[in-house]
Amino acid sequence: MTLLLQILLAFGTLSLLAIGGANAVLPEMHRLVVEVHGWMDDATFSQLFALAQAAPGPNILAASVMGWHIAGPAGMAMATIGMLLPAAILAYGMQGLTHRLRGNTWLKPAQFGLVPLAVGLIAGSGVIMAQAAGTNLLSFVIIGVSTVFVWRTKYSPLWVLAGGGALGLLLL
Amino acid sequence: MPPSNRELFLTYLQIGLTSFGGVNAWARHMLVEKRGWLTEQEYAETLGIGQVLPGPNALNTAIGVGVRFGGAMGALACALGLFAGPMALLAGIAALYDAYGQLPLVRATLTGIAAAAAGMVLGTAIKMGVKLKPTLPLLAVGVAALALALLRAPLPFVVLGLAPFGLAAAWWAFRQGGGRP
């Protein structure tokens, strides 16, 4: 019971902070899940996140997969509810207000001002993920190639995930 | 003829299950081009509001679309539709991971995928940063966020501490640029 409550609270605090999607809360998710609570190690964290990226749907569902790993189906339910419910209630409550303000002049600067914050956090996620995933020379090569591929081309990132998985077999 | 809650649910179920690599592009394609429920402009506005509100923006946008057509029940239909399919799939994936994640073959593949995902996140950050062409104050906010993330500063403090500076920097950039950053 206490474990489930801890999961609910940990992911609940992330919910309202997810500006710009799952990637921006990844450093905090890592801090809570690996460092504060010790629910999993670095390698497991990065693998579960990668699985959620490879699957369809909102990336924020990385939280659900981690919840399952910590405490099974109930853990998944708690992590998902924690991650989604606070934000959903707020978004619903704000609809009347935002409907009136739609197209208002403050919206663009507000959107624009949060983007650099989100980009900085996403960059932080990338570095933390690379620290967790970079265990040998081959993985650093995969990280480098994948970075350049996603940055410089317009192909779906799924190709790099598939390519990374195939190259990973060289580790056998 | 506005869509019924059932149609909203089924459409978002489809969006959830097809949206590899980010929901927004798929949602736009479905809602604007295939169903024609929203104009390009209406979708952009709903998405914009979803991005400004705290919380996962795919969820916020789905709630915005749901409320517009079906009130509270519409919001519930869209949100449930968006998450039901991927959740079921990920439950299966998570169970398989727990059962077979330690097999050498699976471990090696997952190590490779995790490295690729790290690069994917890094590449996304670089792409977004370059496209943004930030003014100096906006760049400073981004760098501060990166530094604080790496120092493992708790996220609530990072967001609450830096958001005012980001908003001020953006407001300043808009003033300088006469409405365009």
Q: What is the ipTM of this complex?
A: 0.84
Task: Please check whether residue B43 is in contact with residue B15, taking contact to mean a CB–CB distance below 8 angstroms.
Answer: no
Residue B156, pLDDT score: 83
Render B43-94 in DSSP notation, one character per residue. Answer: HHHHHHHHHHSSS-HHHHHHHHHHHHHHHHHHHHHHHHHHHHHHHHHHHHHH
Residue bearing tokens 């449930």: B80
CA distance B8 to chain A (A): 16
Residue B180, pLDDT score: 52
Q: Which of B19, B87, B111 sits opposite A171 (nearest CB)?
A: B111
Closest CA to A23 of B22, B52, B143, B45: B22
Chain B environment of A122 (Cβ under 8 Å):
121, 124-125, 128
Residue B42, pLDDT score: 85
Residue B135: CB partners within 8 Å, gap ≥ 6?
B169, B172, B173, B176, B181
Q: Please report which confidence band the pLDDT of residue B55 belongs to, taking 50, 70 and 90 as the band edges.
A: confident
| Cβ <8 Å between A146 and B123 | yes
The residue with greater pLDDT, A20 or B64, is: B64
Please give the Cα distance from A163 to A140 (Å, whole number).
Answer: 14
Q: Which of A52, A127, A167 sits opposite B150 (nearest CB)?
A: A127
CA distance B31 to chain A (A): 16
Q: Residue range B5-21: average pLDDT?
A: 91
Residue A123, pLDDT score: 92
| Cβ <8 Å between B121 and A129 | yes
| Cβ <8 Å between B55 and A88 | yes
pLDDT tops 60 at residue B179: no
Q: What is the mean pLDDT of each run of 10 residues along chain A (172 residues)?
A: 92 86 85 94 91 87 94 96 94 78 69 83 89 90 95 86 92 80
Residue B178, pLDDT score: 56
Please give the Cα distance from A77 to A80 (Å, whole number).
Answer: 5
Q: State the greatest distance between any 2 C-alpha atoms of chain A, in Å, as a whole number.
A: 58
Q: Which of B111, B117, B145 sits opposite A120 (nearest CB)?
A: B145
